[in-house]
Structure formats: C-alpha cells, structure tokens
C-alpha cells in the first residue's frame, strides 16, 4: 500500500483549525472578561467543545477520501 497524502494534509488542516480557533476566541477575551464569571465559564466551556464538531468530517475524509457517510 502506498501512503495517502490525506493524513498529513488533514493533520496540518487540523492544526491550522486549532490555531485559527484559539486566535478567534482569544480576540474576544477582553469583551468576555468583562462579563460575570459564570457567563465567562459557560462561553469558554462551549467554545472548548464547539471547535471539535467540524473535525469529524475531516477525520472521515482522512480515512476514506470522502466526507459523506457510507450508505448501507
């Protein structure tokens, strides 16, 4: 089997996405920091989970070459 280019490309894409997400969220830190502590915690909790959602399709693409679920 020849190695697929999708895995290194996907890994670089994931790293780029993480960097983008961190920069995006931290750019709002001054605004979020002025909110009540519980609201801040909720925002950061949600932001800490939401970034993972698009990665499922990327991981599927890395393994199969398609972003669509296989049909049974």
Residue 3: band (very low, low, confident or very high) from pLDDT cuts 50, 70, 90: low
Contact predicate 67/18, CB 8 Å: no
Q: What would the pLDDT profile of 23-48 be if each residue is shown by its tens digit?
A: 999 999 999 999 999 999 999 999 99
Closest C-alpha among 52, 17, 1 to residue 9: 17
pLDDT of residue 65: 80
- Which whole number is the average pLDDT over 53-59? 89
Is the pLDDT at 16 greater than 90, yes or no? yes
Structural domain boundaries of the chain?
9-64
């Amino acid at each position: 089997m020849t190695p697929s280019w999708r895995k290194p490309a996907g890994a670089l894409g994931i790293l780029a996405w993480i960097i983008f997400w961190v920069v995006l969220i931290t750019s709002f830190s001054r605004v979020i920091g002025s909110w009540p502590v519980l609201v801040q915690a909720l925002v950061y909790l949600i932001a800490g989970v939401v970034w993972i959602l698009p990665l499922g399709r990327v991981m599927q693409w890395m393994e199969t070459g398609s972003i669509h679920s296989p049909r049974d």
